[in-house]
A and B are shown apart, each in its own frame.
Chain A
């Protein structure tokens, strides 16, 4: 008995995508294996490590705890969507590189998406706030110290990049905002 497939329409990193997936297909698997966006990583499959964090309509969510069909119609931003317009590293990613905020890099995509969303609402963080901001993601390599530094550095880079009076930071919410049913 073949599984029933359902259609889900997502705007992923600003691009309209349509997938036909079983109801139980996790968003993380859908992004990684159906859409080939392997930047999103899966570390625990029970929502604790945060490596799979993506932005759904701008909010950080654990893609391993969501079914792909349950975000039908949503805007999804993965770490690939946090890159610069030219395909190089985006400001948050660049901050991680500059501050040695990653070692093996497996947890990094979840930090990048989480920090991207958080800095949108907290453009001037203190060190203590930066530490709290990343408090829901596990990293086994860095001891977090350089990730905290990366958050602070990312805030600087974002500020330097923002032209006067512009709207959303890059990678926060996708450009195409008509979404919603």
Chain B
């Protein structure tokens, strides 16, 4: 009997490799390759007057130095704008190496290639760049004032301006019995995977082909981008994402300057070249996110029901817009969460500053949107003197209203229509899990002991599994083993395991007999990438659809071999058998042999294949016109629109009356991502997301000074949480299947982080009797707030 595979919390297939020290990460490859290092701008904004490489030339082991002047062809052009949008009226992207102007600290100015990284950095340190500093634009205020500009030809620093409106929000707010106006701000943070970026390129001059390994979230698109940039036919370019040490969004951007320059140099030099980003480089030259300031106006009735909602916000997109304006678009739409806003108007300006580029970090604009919306809910409850959960309940979209059309356009350019979800049930579960109704008892007990505790909750809805598509290839080998390939990449999410579970369940084989390859363009060339909690939804369904085709073919061939109707056959434990007729069976391995009529008997399996004759008989071609050899198939999943997961989080915190330190006593999560392929992996995703939520709420912020220097570009100063800061997470699940895809699944990757800032602001505010409108919050900031309240 086949044990259930789909939905089981099995151990991960990748762990024997990764836990044993046998992972193959970018810097584990390419022993002996030349090493690249970069000279980066120390200025936030400056003209590059001269680059004097003379001092580097006598460094023993130096191979080459490149500046902008050396670049040729399309490599000398600005990097691509990956996602254009009609509202992004002034997009700007960087050159791979600065062309006359640098616009943030860390922008690459020169590239050095040498025998090893030590030598490359020696040489880089001897290159003298003459800069003429220009006044920098730092922070949203300065960007909006536009007394100075980041780009000469963008006089107001506005890259994009977008408005969406459903109904007449301003009139609805005006006519509402109650009104509130709130200013809500979130500061900068960053994905910060433990492994930075990295690129390793091999040019085969004889074969005129290029193989590039990149620590990327999208190898297929890097391949296309490199072919376009380097003028190498796409057919001669292979890109492989090896084991990748975390991504969290930052590695979806491509091609990075280094991703173009390393292969370009490898081709020019005819040598293998590798670059591995160091930690400081990652801070100052990758990407950040989260920095936004929101102005909310809301009108509501006596029950707290929203009548009109108007949100205007400023988004700091840094110096360039290579990834378009995905982040603020997501904020502007996902802000609505599980609620019906009444009339809704949202407007944002995306602004240039002389800081590192802003691109998606896990959650991608949702944490800010949820912060704005959930703080608004808390404010309404406070104004009306009502229970915070009750005000949310009043505004929920009800399950019977699904599918629910918000009348807006989502990040994929498609209508924002929620497919399914039971928000009242999610909230009820959360209230039970955290003990919402009983909390006053807890508070009183704590108070009696001289302790301050508080509770907060926040709801979110997350669009997951955006299109356009993913594909997968499934093949049954003649030994009965199954090989699955998908082009989508992996950064630790356990895809080797969950896709194997999907394929094993569909095919009726043991999960141990399935091998999964991801992110290798040699194995699968068409894919979009891993982002937006889309991998399980997109590739999971593609694997299922491919496996179903393979299963159908197996049944057809087995039916011929067993002289049975395929409709009477089943596959279990790797064997096709006639239902109810024990003994009438054929192993899948043998079916695979039969599927490939061979002329040459090179091994035992092949010899068997030459003996059989399945198919139309001696007058028919051995491979029928509409058939192909092999027990294999590709499957594609392309959804009409995203599927929407949801959840509710609650935190119980204690604040120290003297030090204002915040201690997280409990953290509870109720999460609905549809059907679970592997509950253990989903929980792991939630735990990790919550840890990033804790970091973003209490510790992590990227601090720029007025001259545009990033003051905390190291792990000593950018405070990522250790085990001592992250609470134990208590979880409960709902499984509301998505009607949009065959497996009924929704994404789970980002959920854990999304409500973090909102939950902690609410809980800390509740403990302290304070209003918190800006996150993250440090003990000294909380201390200051107390002072303002006269409570210090």
A residues with a Cβ closer than 8 A to B are: 1-3, 22, 24-25, 32-33, 36-46, 48-49, 51, 78-80, 82-83, 88-90, 93-94, 96-98, 100, 102-109, 112, 131-132, 134-148
CB atoms of B118 and A22 under 8 A apart: yes
Q: Which residue of A lies closest to B678 (CB)?
A: A100
Residue numbers in A under 8 Å from B118 (CB-CB): 22, 24-25
A108 to B716, CA, bound (A): 20
Q: How far is the CB of B585 from chain A (nearest CB, A)?
A: 34
CB atoms of A141 and B246 under 8 A apart: yes
Contact of B19 among A38, A49, A112, A138 (CB under 8 A): A112
CB atoms of A138 and B194 under 8 A apart: yes
Q: How far is the CB of A20 from chain B (nearest CB, A)?
A: 14
Contact with A along B13-35 (1 / 0, CB 8 A): 01111111111110110010000
Contacts known (A48-B714, A143-B687); A105 close to B726, Cβ less than 8 A: no
CB atoms of B14 and A105 under 8 A apart: yes
Residue numbers in A under 8 Å from B28 (CB-CB): 32, 38
A112 to B684, CA, bound (A): 19
Q: How far is the CB of A29 from chain B (nearest CB, A)?
A: 8
Residue numbers in B under 8 Å from A22 (CB-CB): 118
Q: How far is the CB of B748 from chain A (nearest CB, A)?
A: 13
Q: How far is the CB of B473 from chain A (nearest CB, A)?
A: 25
CB atoms of B688 and A140 under 8 A apart: yes
With A138-B715, A140-B692 already in contact, 6 other A-B pairs whose C-beta atoms are closer than 8 Å:
A41-B25, A83-B21, A97-B16, A103-B494, A104-B246, A136-B722
Contact of B279 among A38, A43, A83 (CB under 8 A): A43
- The answer to whether the Cβ of B642 comes within 8 Å of any Cβ in the partner chain is no
Residue numbers in A under 8 Å from B687 (CB-CB): 142-146
CB atoms of A44 and B714 under 8 A apart: yes
CB atoms of B19 and A143 under 8 A apart: no
CB atoms of A140 and B27 under 8 A apart: no
Contact of A44 among B21, B279, B493 (CB under 8 A): B279
CB atoms of B193 and A140 under 8 A apart: yes
CB atoms of A100 and B684 under 8 A apart: yes
Q: Which residue of B lies closest to A2 (CB)?
A: B60
- The answer to whether the Cβ of B501 comes within 8 Å of any Cβ in the partner chain is no
Contacts known (A32-B27, A42-B27, A146-B684); A104 close to B193, Cβ less than 8 A: yes
Residue numbers in B under 8 Å from A142 (CB-CB): 684, 687-688, 691
Contacts between the two chains (Cβ within 8 Å), count: 181
A150 to B589, CA, bound (A): 38
CB atoms of A41 and B688 under 8 A apart: no
CB atoms of B19 and A144 under 8 A apart: no
Residue numbers in A under 8 Å from B724 (CB-CB): 131-132, 135
A88 to B21, CA, bound (A): 11
Q: How far is the CB of B216 from chain A (nearest CB, A)?
A: 14
Residue numbers in B under 8 Å from A105 (CB-CB): 14-15, 17-19, 23, 243, 245, 492
CB atoms of B15 and A97 under 8 A apart: yes
CB atoms of B194 and A107 under 8 A apart: yes
CB atoms of A51 and B194 under 8 A apart: yes
Q: Which residue of B lies closest to A127 (CB)?
A: B728
Residue numbers in A under 8 Å from B11 (CB-CB): 97-98, 100
CB atoms of A43 and B194 under 8 A apart: yes
A36 to B689, CA, bound (A): 34
CB atoms of B20 and A88 under 8 A apart: yes
A143 to B31, CA, bound (A): 33
CB atoms of A46 and B19 under 8 A apart: no
Residue numbers in A under 8 Å from B680 (CB-CB): 100
- The answer to whether the Cβ of B165 comes within 8 Å of any Cβ in the partner chain is no
CB atoms of B716 and A48 under 8 A apart: yes
Residue numbers in B under 8 Å from A25 (CB-CB): 118
A80 to B25, CA, bound (A): 15
- The answer to whether the Cβ of B134 comes within 8 Å of any Cβ in the partner chain is no
CB atoms of B12 and A41 under 8 A apart: no
- The answer to whether the Cβ of B491 comes within 8 Å of any Cβ in the partner chain is yes
Contacts known (A49-B194, A105-B19); A143 close to B492, Cβ less than 8 A: no
Best-surrounded residue of A38, A45, A49 (most CB of chain B within 10 A): A38
Residue numbers in B under 8 Å from A143 (CB-CB): 684, 686-691, 726, 729, 752
Contacts known (A43-B279, A48-B715, A140-B192); A102 close to B19, Cβ less than 8 A: yes
Contact of B492 among A90, A104, A135 (CB under 8 A): A104
A94 to B11, CA, bound (A): 11
Q: Which residue of A lies closest to B362 (CB)?
A: A140
Residue numbers in A under 8 Å from B18 (CB-CB): 102, 104-105, 108
Residue numbers in A under 8 Å from B12 (CB-CB): 97, 100
Q: How far is the CB of B457 from chain A (nearest CB, A)?
A: 19
CB atoms of A103 and B688 under 8 A apart: yes
Q: How far is the CB of A132 from chain B (nearest CB, A)?
A: 7
